[in-house]
Structure 1
Amino acid sequence: MEKKLHNFFQSGILEKYILDETSASENLQVEHYIETYPEVESEYLRLQDNLEILAKASAIEAPHFILDNIKKEAGKETAPVMALVSAHRKTPWYSIAASIIALVFAGSTLMMYQQNRKLLQENQVVVDEIFDLRSDIAENNSILDDLMRRFMRLNNPETEKYVLRGNERAKDLKTVAYINAVDKTSMIDVVSLPQLPGNQTYQIWAEMQDRMVNLGILDPSEREFQSLPYIEDALGLSITIEPKGNNAIASDNAVAEISLKSKNN
């Protein structure tokens, strides 16, 4: 049974099931494993939690509805038609008839012109909305592709998770670093950073044997996973409060520190 579960986990079908990329028959297989084996159910719940973490990092604003814009365009009032004042003189009946026919024709022509113009405007609105939707779809697909790559990286067995919590100087500080020594990748999830004065910033450092290496600035308003430079042989990570700007030398004002596992050294 252990070999069977090992083959199941190695196939990657559980990750595809979480991302809704499996067929109907594969869905039945995965659901059977989840109901039958506690190990599979536990891994399934863990993957769901990780996917929820990543989903919160990418909030996508919904596009405007085409129907609302069409109704807005359709509700605009057309320009009023000015009334014609008849002249106070006798006119032959055939001239009156010709004038009436001309007025009716002119009125019909104006109405058709206004209707065609209105249709053209509505069609342009629809074309613009379709163009915007295509752009949104392409952007959303790109975001989802990036989300899936981060999700797979997050669940890589070689990825180590490190939680950095603030000390007395920043009690509400919490970040989570993910480091993969095999792929040489590193990223950080900014969970919460207390607000600083405008002339100060948070910076993260890699602790080496003889120096501190600057890995970049942490933005309190940034709620997405941020990539960090991977540093070989790093002994630990440290977050400090520094004067605004990208400082090359770390101060003693550390607010969070953690040691890295020896396999990353």
Structure 2
Amino acid sequence: MADTLELHLVGIGTGNPDHLTLAAIEALNGADLILLPRKGEDKADLADLRREICARVLRADVQVLEFDLPVRASDGDYLAAVAEWHDAIAAEWQRQIACHLPEGACRVALLIWGDPSLYDSSLRIAARLSSHAKTLQIKVVPGITSMQALTAAHAIPLNELAEPVLITTGRRLRERGWPADAASVVVMLDGGCAFQALDPDGVFVWWGAYLGMPQQALVAGPLELVAEEIAEQRAVLRDAHGWIMDVYLMRKSPT
């Protein structure tokens, strides 16, 4: 391995190879090694999509290495479990790089869903590599986020005129309710339909799953009328595919 390790975190959008920017394509073709994680049989589609992207855009003879991603503990303290999980992933990245990056080479790329800056931990995991390389250079290629794909699919603006938007998780929405003083809320990483815990009065929701993919699903309407439909459709889709990625925007009507 060279004294300098360049780690390229390449945003690839929400699963559609057409989401890749020209910069993303150049970064992948300029890599010496591409790491492609596998997340188990129930999420094999995710690895398949990464393989498809590489097959479509790689013009150079780049080594693509698949590896099994460590699994996060599902019990105990959530933040502690995530920290341990990130440590394990960083160690696995380092092991794969040490074993497979050609002598004298320095450029490693990872394909990151959406954009590395938005509810993705790749940058935090990458920082854990700093003690393993003499010089670590982290380079980010931005990608289309699920928020962009959602608003494009519904043909709506993300924000009201001159108004802010709050981005949160399903866990926090369920624990704390509607964020104070927020008119528009984007909810990500919601595995339990946290919107069902809200007072739906005056709330409009735009929901989307598998955005940009052939199986894309969309629902929009007053929350009190479509909450059950979203929950039911989400369950059916997850059973059918073994996994689901979804996001939604909610807006309160002015009182």
TM-score of the two chains, using structure 2 as the length reference: 0.20
Name whichever structure is richer in helix by fraction. 1
Q: Larger C-alpha radius of gyration, 1 or 2?
A: 1
TM-score of the two chains, using structure 1 as the length reference: 0.19
